[in-house]
Amino acid sequence: MPELPEVEVSRLGITPLTQGQTVNKIVIRQTQLRWPVPDTIHQAVGQPILSIERRAKYLLLRLATGTILVHLGMSGSLRVLAANTPFSKHDHVDLHFDNQTLLRYNDPRRFGCWLWFDKNVTIPLLDKLGPEPLSDEFSAEYMLTLASKRKVSVKQFIMQNAVVVGVGNIYASESLYNAHIHPLRQAHTLSKQEWVELVNQIKIVLQSAITQGGTTLNDFKQPNGKPGYFAQQLNVYGKANAPCPSCGDAIQSKVIGQRNTFWCDRCQQ
DNA sequence: CTAGAGGCCTGCCCGC
DNA sequence: TGCGGGCAGGCCTCTA
């Protein structure tokens, strides 16, 4: 479910409701997420949430003595609810606040994580991440240089977090389609001008997806409970054999690097 | 170093 | 109606 736009939508949704609130209890019903939820996370109790940041697809709840790091995995979502709201299936973690609300984490597949890192300790998961896609650091010059000797497909290349973060499977296919670049091209074969176009389309696709509240395919919900609306603007993702919106040829699909990929053979070179 | 594959989980959809 | 198989938005980790 969540790619970068969905994580950012979640951050924007929960921030006004949780920033400044003091944690008074943490309830963990399922510790077995991607990694076990550590006992040290209870150090957050008694402290206010100072801010909620996002790095790649990680949410960072900043407190005075450390950081709660949350990843939504494939199927995680966050809601802010009244403290007495009954929990349901797959509601694994609740952060209770002094004002009788809670931040609730639901994650059927449990590929997400909740971790605690003491202040002044480096967070290994954030160590090797490439630039944020919506920052100026993510540029055509940067990609041209980095890709110079890379033989992997451009589609896999842009999905590598060490290259650039936050480009997940949906938006990789969409960006390549919009940039008229074939997903199976080796990364090093793209020209400067093609990187200009691809970088630009990645930024446009991600930013507009954020504006639309993310992409809901099955079950993604914004923190307000509403679905995202970007799915209505997808051109190729999930549309194998449907007509290309531009030329009408059948959309192709193939598993590339173990992820399904969609493109138009005529429009993408 | 790079590239490719496995694995973590549950839910859903499809075909029989 | 039930059941098995395949697939799904991420990404760390292992192998070659």
pLDDT digits (tens, 9 = 90+) for A180-198: 999 999 999 999 999 999 9
Report whether pLDDT(A45) > 60.
Answer: yes
Of A11, A54, A57, A221, which residue is the catalytic one? A57
Mean pLDDT of A90-101: 97
- Cα-Cα-Cα-Cα torsion A154, A155, A159, A163, nearest 10 degrees, comes to 10
More confident position, A75 or A224: A75
Report whether pLDDT(A221) > 80.
Answer: no
| Distance (Å, whole) CA A79 – CA A81 | 6
- The question of whether A2 is a catalytic residue gets the answer yes
Residue A75: which residues within 8 A CB-CB, separation 6 or more? Answer: A1, A107, A108, A109, A111, A112, A219
- The question of whether A259 is a catalytic residue gets the answer yes
Q: What is the pLDDT of residue A218?
A: 67
State, as a whole number of angstroms, the distance between the CA of A177 and the C1' of B5: 27
Read off the pTM. 0.95
Q: What is the pLDDT of residue A96?
A: 98
Of A2, A5, A133, A183, which residue is the catalytic one? A2
Residues 80-139 in A having a C-beta less than 7 A from any atom of strand B are: 89-90, 108-111
C-alpha separations of A27 from A14, A37, A52 in Å: 18, 11, 20
| Distance (Å, whole) CA A131 – CA A199 | 12
Q: What is the pLDDT of residue A79?
A: 95
Report whether pLDDT(A106) > 60.
Answer: yes
More confident position, A223 or A4: A4
Mean pLDDT of A92-114: 96
Mean pLDDT of A110-132: 95
Tokens describing residue A114: 């909740």
Q: Are A215 and A234 in contact (CB under 8 A)?
A: yes
CA proximity to A180, closest of A265, A98, A110, A53? A265
Q: Which nucleotides of B are covered by protein (CB under 7 A)?
A: 2-12
At which residue do the structure tokens 């449907």 appear? A242
State, as a whole number of angstroms, the distance between the CA of A128 and the C1' of C12: 12
Q: What is the pLDDT of residue A193?
A: 98
